[in-house]
Structure 1
């Protein structure tokens, strides 16, 4: 059989091509330094640094304590749970839409990769003042509602191990994080009042997979000016009912 080679597009953009090559290198080969990347793709170190900085900005790469670059949350999610995340999102969307219709607030579904939380599905409400879609965004897990829910499912020694590595970026205070996770475990839900974004309140509950472990966090977000403390029981009950319906679909 004749072997066919892919021809480059007629209007190839060198910087885009180089960024994609770097992302593939990181995913297939592991951590690389700026000088190694520059040598491999044939560019100046300053150019390699700019390309890596953009990959870091878009969460395709992260820089570790040794100043080498490795795959970031986007590529980790693609490598380890792409099909699972896709199926989870597809199963969740109808339930998210019904929950938005019920509460008239924006709703999100989030998964955890390491110490980060990624929003894999968002449905906005129709109100003029609302929390916008977070789909595709990545935040430190300890700063988000669903991230706290997912961290709370881990044994304490795994949480300590997860945050033992000194990496760039804001790290949680260990004592405060332990207290936060203990509170989530006791209540079975998480309340986030301006933790990840000022002026936003979010409430979330866990979603369990067919085998029992928690696979995602389901949360509702609203402007803080619209949140009242007496709403909390209703919000939690609605979230739990939706999570239960989604879990039934996942088992089916």
Structure 2
């Protein structure tokens, strides 16, 4: 599939999705969101892809926000539809994907850009990165899951402070708050993301997908995450990967998982 706003590259079992609108600081317009839906759907369905790293083109921005010019003519119904479509087609798609997704935050991650990073399973940042949700300066609130995921990641008090002040935070702050798990130099950012993902990809693929479902259900209203864990734990016993993992452990060798 050809993309106008994304660059897709494969490195072994890692699929790189790079938002390639450097002149616009990789802002998320409707076309880019549509391409992200297609790119992630393809990556999750591709049996050769084990995990995904998403980043932004150039040294300045991961994603500096949404394309505000597209908001100007919207009314209540239009704004509601925009948010709902974004949730369903992109942000929830990523969060609920069965393959690990790492956001490599290489610069500004603001508004929809930070929401995109928060939808990913793991976030690492370059030391020059800046993050924030400035929507209230436009008379808006975060509309792509930002109020919910930021609260889950950093707690209610810090989430409210960040959202209500609209202030940007540094990568060091983000690490302290638990918003990212690692901060490295710009040159080390992608190698660090690959290091983490390659380690993950030595593990059993079906178990990885099950673990993502379990952790997500810990924060899903109306769902008992403990029950999800019990169910997923039991289902793992029916996989060939479980039998291989146990055999490898008992035989003191490296497991050869097939995702079966």
TM-score (norm 1): 0.27
Question: Which has the greater radius of gyration?
Answer: 1
